[in-house]
């Protein structure tokens, strides 16, 4: 019988993939930094293998994000958005989501980022329903 990955493991893996891709880092390069093969990184990113605490700490250092980043929007997470975690995770793992996040992260001027965010919100159908969490707002500042 095939073991089904835990929803949190899948979410953490998708966030690892998201951040790695945002940085333009290959699975091989991340694996090298961790002393692993790219296949092991793939298993973490798919949620097939669970990431231990010390490994997650090392990954957070290599990807330059705090550990809570990997759990934002995850199953059972408290958030101030009406968007379901699966919808947000699905978008952030899409080519468009990754490209948007990478381009937005490259904007150094805080005022420009806020202006772009205001523009995007104004284009949305229900802007108030898609406000980011406090952690997300702090991460992009």
Domain boundaries, the chain: 7-140
Provide the percentage of residues in the chain whose pLDDT is more than 90: 35
Q: What DSSP assignment string belongs to 11-52? A: HHHHHHHHHHHHTT--HHHHHHHHT--HHHHHHHHHTSSPPP
Comparing CA positions, the residue from 54, 55, 44 lying closest to residue 12 is 44
Prediction pTM value: 0.60
80 Ramachandran zone, left/alpha/beta (phi>0; psi -120 to 50):
alpha
Token pair belonging to 31 = 């694996």
Nearest 5°: the CA angle 98, 132, 47 is 50
CA distance 61 to 117: 27
Instruction: Give the residue, 18 or 88, on which the prediction is more confident.
Output: 18
7-140: CATH topology is 434 Repressor (Amino-terminal Domain) (1.10.260)
Comparing CA positions, the residue from 104, 87, 81, 117 lying closest to residue 14 is 87
Please provide the average confidence, as pLDDT, over all residues in the chain: 81
What residues contact 37, with CB distance under 8 A and at least 6 apart?
Answer: 31
Which pLDDT value is given to residue 22? Answer: 87
Q: Which residue, chain included where needed, has tokens 């468009």?
A: 96
Q: 106-128 as b/e, with b when 16 or more CB fall inside 10 Å?
A: eeeeeeebeebbeeeeeeeeeee
pLDDT in tens, 46-63: 999 999 999 999 999 999
pLDDT in tens, 72-118: 877 765 554 545 556 777 777 788 888 888 888 888 888 998 898 88
């Amino acid at each position: 019988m095939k073991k089904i990955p835990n929803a949190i493991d899948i979410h953490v893996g998708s966030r690892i993939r998201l951040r790695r891709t945002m940085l333009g880092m290959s699975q091989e390069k991340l694996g090298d930094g961790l002393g692993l093969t790219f296949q092991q990184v793939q298993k973490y990113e798919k949620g097939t293998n669970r990431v231990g605490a010390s490994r997650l700490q090392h990954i957070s250092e290599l990807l330059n994000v705090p550990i809570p980043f990997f759990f934002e929007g995850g199953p059972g997470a408290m958030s101030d958005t009406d968007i379901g975690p699966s919808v947000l995770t699905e978008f952030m793992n899409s080519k468009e989501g990754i490209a948007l996040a990478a381009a937005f992260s490259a904007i150094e001027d805080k005022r420009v980022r806020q202006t772009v965010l205001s523009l995007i919100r104004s284009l949305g159908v229900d802007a108030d329903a898609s406000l980011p969490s406090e952690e997300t707002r702090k991460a992009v500042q």
